[in-house]
């Protein structure tokens, strides 16, 4: 194991006996529960579809989820009553929402993985609670929730936000734990890494993006995988178990695309994944703003001035690397001092600067793709104009992330083609759309 267990010197501010705190686990306080202390675990699972692939859709909340710092395993301690129940149920016909044997997907899916996605089926190890009696265990504070997850695509800020952090927020919201402190442990697959899981050539970029974005959800950048968590103690380690009164896992179907892709394939347009999810997305937006200490408008101002923001060069792809020069010029020709037109290349700004600009915009204009992720920070009632590239992504009219952006609920999302976008007729159509949206905003 690479887990660091070290003794804290006497100058450390944590002292055994004060509220029972005797150290930290990944910067979160722990208290020691001594010998002969034991505990029982339970599970509460949702998302069952009564099929062989139900694990892809399920999420579970655990009471008393523990982590073994020596074996790097997550553990549930089975009570006699649970063991008796499990032994008497018919696994082929009975579904018990509180079964400890219920599997979930530890992370989000990538369509190119094929059968590789089967490696994401996961559940904690089940053990006898008597295992705890000789050593006791370290207990996190009551307001902490422990979450194991596999990071997918975290080398890209947009994927990290919508394929890991949003699913984690959705997960804790399902079970009423959104006000809890989050203890995130990035799960490491054994064997050959799957692509885009931060265990490959993108590992350093993933680390950089996590350090940049984790503060948005109130998580210390003292963040680790399941292989390298840090248990800091004021005494020599007495137990290998760190337990949380609450835990949760199962984010596979909670990403922005579920088991579909992002709008690159014809099959992506045969249904919707995010319909009705607007309140969760808005809650995630506001959750981030609170964690950043930003007091920004929650609703667009129904008065002049109207602030129109262009996101320039938001994609590195040639067909979506747009400067919007013709559109900016056309708006300038209106010569209306009540309409403020701004343009920014957000990749050159800090995350906080980008969020502040978008959150104070009435209308945001950008190209679809990863660079459009900041659109979720628009205030309620704002308008989003997305430009998409015709026949450039392997499918006609590839409106990337359409399902997420169309279902935010608090923003009106419009789609315009880049084909002929700078011709006079297209510019006139663009101006008419903008003027209509201004009228709607002012109602």
Lowest model confidence (mean pLDDT) among 200-209, 304-313, 413-422: 200-209
The β-bridge partners of 278 are none
The two structure tokens encoding residue 197: 């899981």
pLDDT in the model for residue 7:
42
In this prediction, residues 249-264 reach a mean pLDDT of 91
- Coil, strand or helix: which one is 157? helix
pLDDT in the model for residue 17:
42
CA distances from 410 to 254, 384, 424 (A): 19, 11, 31
pLDDT in the model for residue 223:
80
How many Å apart are CA 228 and CA 384, to the nearest integer? Answer: 42
**Any residues with CB less than 8 A from the CB of 51 and at least 6 apart, and which?**
none
pLDDT in the model for residue 55:
97
In this prediction, residues 329-343 reach a mean pLDDT of 96
pLDDT above 70 (res 1): no
pLDDT above 70 (res 137): yes
pLDDT in the model for residue 371:
83
Residues 42-68: pLDDT tens digits?
A: 999 999 999 999 999 999 999 999 999
pTM of this prediction? 0.92
Residues 67-101: pLDDT tens digits?
A: 999 999 999 999 999 999 999 988 778 889 999 99
Q: What rounded mean pLDDT belongs to the chain? A: 91
Residues 266-298: pLDDT tens digits?
A: 888 888 999 999 999 999 999 999 999 999 999
Lowest model confidence (mean pLDDT) among 9-18, 52-61, 163-172, 255-264: 9-18
pLDDT in the model for residue 170:
98
pLDDT in the model for residue 18:
42
Place of tokens 């790097």: 72
Q: Are 418 and 387 in contact (CB under 8 A)?
A: yes
- Which of 6-10, 70-74, 320-324, 350-354 has the highest average model confidence (pLDDT)? 70-74
In this prediction, residues 315-337 reach a mean pLDDT of 90
pLDDT above 80 (res 152): yes
Tell me phi and psi for residue 229, to 5 degrees: -70, 160
Confidence label for 390 from pLDDT (cuts 50, 70 and 90)? confident
Residues 3-36: pLDDT tens digits?
A: 555 444 333 333 334 458 999 999 999 999 988 8
pLDDT above 90 (res 379): yes
């Amino acid at each position: 194991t690479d887990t660091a267990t070290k003794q804290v010197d006497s100058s450390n501010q944590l002292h055994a006996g004060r509220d029972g705190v005797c150290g930290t686990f990944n910067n979160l306080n722990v208290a020691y529960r001594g010998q002969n202390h034991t505990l029982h675990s339970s599970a509460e699972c949702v998302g069952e579809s009564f099929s062989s692939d139900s694990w892809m859709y399920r999420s579970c909340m655990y009471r008393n989820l523990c982590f073994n710092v020596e074996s790097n395993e997550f553990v549930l301690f089975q009570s006699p009553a649970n063991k008796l129940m499990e032994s008497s149920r018919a696994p082929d016909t009975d579904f018990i929402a509180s079964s400890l044997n219920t599997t979930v997907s530890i992370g989000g899916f990538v369509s190119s993985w094929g059968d590789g996605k089967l490696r994401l089926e996961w559940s904690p190890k089940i053990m006898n609670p008597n295992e705890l009696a000789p050593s006791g265990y370290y207990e996190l504070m009551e307001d902490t929730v422990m979450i194991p997850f596999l990071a997918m695509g975290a080398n890209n800020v947009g994927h990290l936000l919508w394929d890991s952090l949003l699913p984690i927020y959705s997960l804790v919201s399902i079970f009423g734990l959104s006000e809890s402190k989050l203890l995130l442990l990035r799960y490491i697959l054994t064997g050959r890494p799957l692509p885009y899981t931060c265990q490959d050539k993108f590992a350093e970029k993933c680390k950089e993006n996590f350090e940049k974005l984790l503060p948005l959800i109130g998580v210390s950048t003292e963040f680790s995988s399941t292989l390298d968590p840090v248990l800091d103690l004021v005494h020599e380690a007495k137990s290998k178990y760190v337990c949380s009164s609450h835990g949760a896992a199962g984010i596979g179907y909670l990403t922005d695309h579920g088991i579909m892709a992002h709008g690159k394939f014809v099959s992506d347009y045969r249904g919707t994944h995010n319909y009705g999810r607007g309140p969760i997305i808005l809650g995630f937006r506001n959750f981030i703003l609170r964690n950043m200490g930003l007091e920004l408008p929650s609703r667009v101002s129904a008065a002049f001035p109207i602030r129109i923001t262009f996101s320039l060069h938001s994609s590195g792809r040639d067909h979506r690397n747009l400067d919007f020069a013709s559109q900016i010029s056309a708006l300038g020709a209106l010569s209306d001092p009540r309409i403020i037109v701004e343009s920014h290349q957000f990749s050159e700004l800090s995350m906080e600067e980008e969020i502040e600009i978008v959150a104070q915009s009435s209308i945001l204009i950008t190209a679809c793709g990863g660079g459009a992720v900041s659109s979720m920070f628009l205030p309620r009632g704002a308008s989003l104009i997305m430009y998409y590239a015709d026949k450039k992504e392997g499918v006609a009219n590839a409106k990337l992330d359409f399902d997420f952006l169309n279902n935010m609920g608090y923003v009106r999302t419009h789609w315009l083609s880049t084909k002929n976008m700078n011709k006079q007729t297209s510019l006139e159509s663009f101006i008419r759309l903008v003027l209509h949206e201004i009228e709607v905003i002012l109602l």
